[in-house]
Amino acid sequence: MRALDPAWVKLLAEEIQADGQVQPIRVVERGARFQLIDGARRVAACLQLGHTGIEAAIEPEAALANDAFVRLGEIKGNFLRAELTMLERAYYVAAWRAVYEGVNGVIKRGPKPRTGIPFQRNEIPEAGNDDVADAFVLSLSEAAQKALQISQPTMSRYLRIASIPTAQGHRLVGHQAANSRAELLVLAEQTAARQVSIIDMLTAAEPRAATVAEAIIALDGTPAAARLSPSEKIHQTFSRLRPQDQERFFDLNAEAIERWSAARGASRRASGRGAA
């Protein structure tokens, strides 16, 4: 049912080539053949490598009597696979990077490479805005960076989030904050004591705050800022646009503006007749 993502297929092919097949595909017997239940990307990766065989867990035909049961098996296999939250991804990526450092040495700031000379494996180029290009990210293949969505900027954010001690982070299991990059980054900026207090407020039997921001406001005793309506938010953004961008906005919303103008004109005319 899922379309094959070429980046994931390429990444799996790289991993299978390096470490072998980690997880078998799942199939069901259909006479002398087999029908795939789960593992289309692994099959595509093995085909890409030119493999003629693949490790599989085989269900007897009676276990999945028809295509409806096979489809249900595929649906459950994807739905019931626990995806990593943003916080869990940060912990895993940070741990993966630590393993990389353990093998290749601690990542340090390196000199800017000379123009026209490609990066060598042991060079760590310096990026703009005082950021350091991460050797761990550079060690990943293009397919891995694309499929796993790990770039140098995202690596920096993951490491900031992973600075939240796991003893506290694991308390957020099941809370929406564990899957919000924005909230986790704000939480990571707090002191250890404030992190404990914030998480206490979020995870209490009767939560005293719904978000990290609300918990911080409660801790600091400052009144919550008034929430803007969607139209007020758009107005704030529009007011900061350059004139040419404002005109572009008018072009994109010409139909709505003309409708509003016509309705406003009719209302004014009606009011004028009433006054007369």
pLDDT of 1: 67
Question: Under CATH, which architecture does the 6-79 domain have?
Answer: Alpha-Beta Complex (3.90)
Q: How far is CA 90 from each of CA 149, 151, 166, rounded to the nearest angstrom?
A: 12, 13, 11
pLDDT by residue (tens digit) across 127-156? Answer: 333 344 467 888 888 888 887 888 888 888
pLDDT of 275: 54
pLDDT of 265: 81
pLDDT of 185: 94
Residue 138 has a CB neighbour count (10 Å cut-off) of 15
- The DSSP 8-state label assigned to residue 140 in this structure reads S
The dihedral sign for the CA sequence 192, 202, 163, 126: negative
Q: Which helix (H) or strand (E) holds 36?
A: strand 33-38
Q: How far apart are the C-alpha atoms of 215 and 66, rounded to whole Å? A: 52
Q: How far apart are the C-alpha atoms of 149 and 85, rounded to whole Å? A: 14
Question: Burial, 162: exposed, middle or buried (Cβ in 10 Å; 0-12, 13-18, 19+)?
Answer: buried
Cβ distance 148 to 7 under 8 Å? Answer: no
* Tens place of pLDDT per residue across the chain (276 aa): 678 888 889 989 999 998 899 889 999 988 888 989 889 999 999 999 999 999 999 988 888 778 887 888 777 776 767 678 999 999 998 888 888 877 776 655 444 444 333 333 333 333 333 344 467 888 888 888 887 888 888 888 999 999 999 999 999 988 999 999 999 999 999 999 999 999 999 999 999 999 999 999 999 987 756 667 888 888 888 888 888 888 889 899 999 999 988 888 887 777 766 555
* In the block, residue with structure tokens 């990593």: 84
Q: How far is CA 239 from each of CA 143, 197, 227, 233, 236, rounded to the nearest angstrom?
A: 41, 38, 18, 10, 5
Alpha carbon of residue 5 to chain centroid: 16
Phi, psi (degrees; rounded to nearest 5) at 28: -125, 140
Q: Which helix (H) or strand (E) holds 40?
A: helix 40-48
